[in-house]
């Protein structure tokens, strides 16, 4: 699958952070994680910390799948607002999903604090503005519901929004809990620490056949090597769909661009992560080197057309940004695009399917894919170590 265009910013900025060998012999381990993106790295880190012998394999270079393209806004807000999610999946599942997602932000902060790397991790507030006046009643319902379940937000009316952010829209939800990170560095940092705890990581190692045996799973690579494991975790991002008998993901193309560094340090109030109620939405955030990342303009284009549309999409995104912040000059420095998958209910798929014994899926789809990956790593660690996890059912395939 052509997951993304050639030059996402993180890869240009960081280059080759670490090199990993490809697999040249047959090996045996307790758990093999297929996929060395942010999801596989989080899973491996959690498994190593739980004392499980872990191997990670990736057919590309580590972190160079969708992870390299991610704009890495870490938000608890699920793509579908709580009041709509309740109608889709029922009150209990919706509320618990929001609570799990809310908790994943301090959880990822705690993980980041244990890693010895310049992750560009920062806690930030988030702001979701009303794209249209008609969105306001729903947003106010949303604030009331979130308050009821212990998620504190503030309503900024038209005046307050303009006063605080200089944005001319009819209102916005301001939330204090969100974060941002360099997802590519984070992936390598998680794996580096996993290696120190005994993990073995192989890139340029593609699994082409999975054979289930009574005592485990045998993985065959395209280079004719064999990995024998008791369990496997599929963390293949949007390429995981081929291992699942029914369609669970909807693919779109999405676009991102990053500005030249700007002179001012606080570009807007607390450099919050900003997004909107329209679907698809545009969003922006500020990096620590004072660039603005801007994304959105999703469509149904296939990779060749997607990459051709990059310049046009960058122009359109820039125009939208200047409508929002006429006083900030956004000069695009780099641009990229990629596939982006979502699910019908905005929730991820985590756990097992009957067709694949000893196999755990870690599929963090949607706009907050990375926060879902944190939850996936926790659930799978608990499933593998026999610990009860209250979130297991929420994101299961038979929810």
Ligand X SMILES: Cc1cc2nc3c(=O)[nH]c(=O)nc-3n(C[C@H](O)[C@H](O)[C@H](O)COP(=O)(O)OP(=O)(O)OC[C@H]3O[C@@H](n4cnc5c(N)ncnc54)[C@H](O)[C@@H]3O)c2cc1C
In angstroms, the CA 367 to CA 208 distance is 29
**Nearest distance in Å: CB 239, ligand X:** 4
270: left (phi over 0), alpha (psi -120 to 50) or beta: left
**Nearest distance in Å: CB 234, ligand X:** 8
Number of H helices, E strands in the chain: 10, 17
In angstroms, the CA 260 to CA 292 distance is 8
Are 36 and 234 a contacting pair, CB within 8 Å? no
**Nearest distance in Å: CB 397, ligand X:** 16
Q: Site mask, ligand X, residues 352-381, x = CB under 6 A?
A: ------------x---xxxx----------
Query: Which residue from 29, 36, 314, 343 is in contact with ligand X, where contact means CB under 6 A?
Result: 36
40: contact with ligand X by CB under 6 A: yes
Contacts (CB under 6 A) with ligand X, residues 171-210? 206-207
Contacts (CB under 6 A) with ligand X, residues 286-315? 295
**DSSP-assigned letters across all residues of 5-19:** -S--HHHHHH-----
Shorter beta-carbon distance to ligand X: residue 37 or 216: 37
**What is the Cα gyration radius of the chain?**
21
Q: Which two tokens stand for residue 245?
A: 């008998």
**Nearest distance in Å: CB 40, ligand X:** 5
Number of residues that bind ligand X (CB under 6 A): 37
Contact window for ligand X (CB under 6 A) among 33-41, 113-121, 147-155, 188-196: 33-41
* H or E stretch covering 209: strand 207-213
Q: Which residue has the tokens 């992936």?
A: 187
Contacts (CB under 6 A) with ligand X, residues 57-96? 57-60, 65-67, 69-73
Q: Site mask, ligand X, residues 252-271, x = CB under 6 A?
A: --x-x---------------
Shorter beta-carbon distance to ligand X: residue 10 or 165: 10
Please enumerate, as own/partner, the contacts of 144-150 that have beta carbons within 8 Å and a separation of 24 or more: 145/82, 145/83, 145/86, 146/82, 146/98, 149/82, 149/95, 149/98, 149/99, 150/99
Contact window for ligand X (CB under 6 A) among 36-44, 77-85, 101-109, 258-266: 36-44
Shorter beta-carbon distance to ligand X: residue 73 or 173: 73
Query: Which residue from 237, 296, 346, 351 is in contact with ligand X, where contact means CB under 6 A?
Result: 237
Peptide bond connecting 280 to the previous residue in cis, omega within 30 degrees of 0 = yes
Enumerate binding residues for ligand X (CB under 6 A). 3-4, 34-40, 57-60, 65-67, 69-73, 206-207, 235-237, 239, 254, 256, 295, 338, 340, 364, 368-371
């Amino acid at each position: 699958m052509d997951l993304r265009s050639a030059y996402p910013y993180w890869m240009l900025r960081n280059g080759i952070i670490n090199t990993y060998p490809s697999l040249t012999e047959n090996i045996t381990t307790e758990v093999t994680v297929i996929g060395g993106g942010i999801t596989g790295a989080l899973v491996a880190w959690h498994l190593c910390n739980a004392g499980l012998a872990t191997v990670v394999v990736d057919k590309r270079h580590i972190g160079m799948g969708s992870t390299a393209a991610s704009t890495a806004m870490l938000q608890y807000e699920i793509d579908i607002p709580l009041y709509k999610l309740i109608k889709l999946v029922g009150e209990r599942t919706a509320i618990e999903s929001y609570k799990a997602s809310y908790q994943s932000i301090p959880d990822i902060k705690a993980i980041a604090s244990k890693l010895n790397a310049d992750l560009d991790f920062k806690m930030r507030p988030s702001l979701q503005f009303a794209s249209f006046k008609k969105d306001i009643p729903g947003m106010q319902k949303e604030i009331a519901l979130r308050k009821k379940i212990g998620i504190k937000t503030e309503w900024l009316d038209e005046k307050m929004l303009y006063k605080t952010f200089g944005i001319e829209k009819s209102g916005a939800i301001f939330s204090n809990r969100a974060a941002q990170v360099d997802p590519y560095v984070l992936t390598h940092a998680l794996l580096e620490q996993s290696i120190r705890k005994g993990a073995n990581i192989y890139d340029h190692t593609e699994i082409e056949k999975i054979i289930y045996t009574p005592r485990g799973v045998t993985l065959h690579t395209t280079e004719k090597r064999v990995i024998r494991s008791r369990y496997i975790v599929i963390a293949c991002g949007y390429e995981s769909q081929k291992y699942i008998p029914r369609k669970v993901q909807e693919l779109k193309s999405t676009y991102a661009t990053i500005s030249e560094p700007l002179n001012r340090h606080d570009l807007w109030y607390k450099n919050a992560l900003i997004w909107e109620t329209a679907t698809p939405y545009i969003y922006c955030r500020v990096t620590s080197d004072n660039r603005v990342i801007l994304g959105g303009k999703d469509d149904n284009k296939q990779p060749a057309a997607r990459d051709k549309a990059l310049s046009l999409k960058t122009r359109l995104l820039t125009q939208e940004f200047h409508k929002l912040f006429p006083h900030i000059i956004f000069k695009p420095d780099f641009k990229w695009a990629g596939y982006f998958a979502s699910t019908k209910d905005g929730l991820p798929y985590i756990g097992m399917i009957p067709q694949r014994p000893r196999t755990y899926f870690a599929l963090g789809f949607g706009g907050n894919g990375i926060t879902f990956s944190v939850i996936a790593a926790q659930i799978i660690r608990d499933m593998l170590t026999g610990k009860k996890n209250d979130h297991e059912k929420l994101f299961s395939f038979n929810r």
